[in-house]
Amino acid sequence: MKIYRRGKKGLFCLRLWIPEHYREIEPRRDLFLSLRTADEATAHRRAVETRDGIFANLDRRLSARLATEGTPEHYDKIRDLAASHGVAYKPNKEIIEGPIEDLVARLLTLKEADPKAESKETTAALLGGVDQPKLMVSTLFDEYEKIAKQETEGKTPDAIRRWRNPRIKAARNFIKAVGDRPILEITRDDALDFRGWWLDRLADPEEAAGSPGTANKDLIHISGMITKLCTFKRWSDPKIFAGLALKEKAGRAIPPFESDWIRDTLLCENPIPELDREALDVLLVMVNTGARPSEIHGLHADDIHLNAPIPFIDINDKNRTLKTEASKRQIPLWGVALEAMRRRPDGFPTYRGRDKWSTDTNRIIRQAGLFPSPDHRAYSLRHSFEDRMTAQEIPERIAADMMGHTIRRERYGKGASLEKKLEVIRRISVTSRI
């Protein structure tokens, strides 16, 4: 850092070097800022005291100029520049119509920060010279994804795809129904038109558009993206989608399998020939663990403990995102579940991190005509496991620890030990007739 005197007896000034990446908007290589004193010692002291703030403020000003006007990035830079001067950014109209004290304070701040009003960015930041950006629905997801990184943290590429696609689809459907709009100019009528578009599609038998639940997902995703974006950008949330959900029919509960079906279909000599052996072993592990399919085929080799005094699988969030915090648990292996895991000491690489096991397995079993009813599916094995615990009057806390359920009261202690869980599994396990 160097200070320079302007003239033989002039005021000292601080030299500010312009970073290379700002060359396109600021051709000067350096700027000189007056320290407002002709005394060298005072100039050095002021330079030391103010240099960090001065450089930071210069960076904000140049960054605001570098961002393209009218974009969300430019608006954010102007807002940050206002905050650096100790005021909240407000539109010009709001400042003029507000308290006179606020306007005077902003003018005084501007005079102090930029006496000659050379920086239009500083003027715009303090006096509200930049309109809120017109972010279009067509770019809504791209902007939303930038601020929603935490929602995909730890997810597999396939899980991220399943997170992204419905939100992208919702925005595309809105544009089909209503047209592209600046999100802050979407009206209640636009939201009602989108709802009406979905009602027309659902009423048209040739559309095969899905169910009211499908429409509601679109409404939820559009509304959720706008709300979160407005929150993080400090914009006013229009909340124009509130109360527009379509009425849905109550879904049918997934019925459990009877133990006889499990024995005759899965534990027989040649179970489900059409199903590949890796997928079948996931089913067999479900039988006597009650674990979710994704928890099983998401296992890695270091989650599988076959040589422990009590063999077990460790369901954790080291390599994947779990449904709830309560899903973290260790489940002993016994009977057909242990046999299946011994065949898969490294897990299930064909299905790990992918959303295809349930689709493929349910389709094959259904095509083979093996499900007891149209409402049954592979997940019914988990319901069967829970029903068998209920029949044996297993205490609620232990049952919750086994299933990975969240309990409605405060959770104390470590929960059931592996020994206690193994005792439960032995009591409720399904074994082969052979």
How do residues 311-324 score in pLDDT, each as one tens digit? Answer: 999 999 887 777 67
pLDDT tens for each residue of 345-354: 999 999 887 7
Instruction: Give the pLDDT band of residue 2 (cuts 50, 70, 90).
Output: confident
The reported pLDDT for the residue numbered 236 is: 75
Q: What is the CA radius of gyration of the chain?
A: 32
**Which of 5-14, 33-42, 113-122, 271-280 is modeled with the greatest confidence?**
271-280
Report the distance separating Cα 160 and Cα 421, nearest Å: 34
- Residue range 13-60, pLDDT digits in tens: 877 777 765 655 566 777 777 777 888 888 888 877 766 666 666 666
Which pLDDT score is estimated for 233? 78
Phi first, then psi: give them for residue 430, nearest 5 degrees.
-100, 130
Contact 95, 82 (CB under 8 A): no
Which pLDDT score, from 0 to 100, does residue 68 have? 54
Q: What is the mean pLDDT of the chain?
A: 84
| Residue 422: per-residue pLDDT | 94
Percent of the chain at pLDDT > 70 equals 86
pLDDT score, position 389: 94
Domain-wise residue ranges, the chain: 3-127, 137-233, 259-428
Over residues 293-317, mean pLDDT: 93
Residue 411 pLDDT more than 60?
no
pLDDT at 419 over 90: yes
pLDDT band at 330 (very low <50, low <70, confident <90, very high): very high
**CA–CA dist 211, 226 (Å, integer):** 24
Q: Is the pLDDT of residue 278 over 90?
A: yes
Lowest-pLDDT range of 64-78, 161-175, 286-300, 309-323: 64-78
- Token duo for residue 165: 């696609």
| pLDDT band at 165; cut points 50, 70, 90 | very high
pLDDT tier at 363, thresholds 50, 70, 90 = very high
The residue assigned the tokens 């990446």 is: 21
The strand pair at 3-5 and 312-315 is best described as unpaired
Return the beta strands (E) in 279-374 as ranges: 304-305, 312-315, 329-332
Residue 245 neighbours by CB under 8 Å, 6+ apart = 216, 219, 220
Answer whether 59's CB lies under 8 Å from 103's CB: no
Q: Are 226 and 237 in contact (CB under 8 A)?
A: yes
pLDDT at residue 67 above 80? no
Instruction: Tell me how far apart the 2 most distant CA atoms of the chain are, in Å.
Output: 106
The answer, yes or no, to whether residue 362 has pLDDT greater than 80, is: yes
Q: State residue 171's pLDDT score.
A: 94
What per-residue confidence (pLDDT) applies to 154?
76
Environment class of residue 415 by beta-carbon count within 10 Å: exposed (0-12), middle (13-18) or buried (19+)?
middle
Lowest pLDDT segment from 188-197, 301-310, 380-389, 413-422: 413-422
Cβ-in-10-Å burial (0-12, 13-18, 19+) of 89 comes to: buried
Q: Retrieve residue 268's tokens.
A: 């027989």
CA 44 to chain centre: 49
Q: Which two tokens stand for residue 61?
A: 């000003």
Read off the tokens for 32.
């000189």
CA 290-296-302 angle, 5° bins: 125
pLDDT score of 276 more than 60: yes
Confidence of residue 410 (pLDDT cuts 50, 70, 90): low
Looking at domain 259-428, which CATH architecture does it have?
Orthogonal Bundle (1.10)
Q: Tell me: pLDDT of 284 over 90.
A: yes
Cα torsion at 407, 413, 414, 420 (round to 10°)?
Answer: -80
| CB 269 within 8 Å of CB 254 | no
The predicted-structure confidence for 207-266, as pLDDT tens digits, reads as follows: 666 788 889 999 999 999 999 988 887 777 778 898 888 887 765 678 999 999 999 999
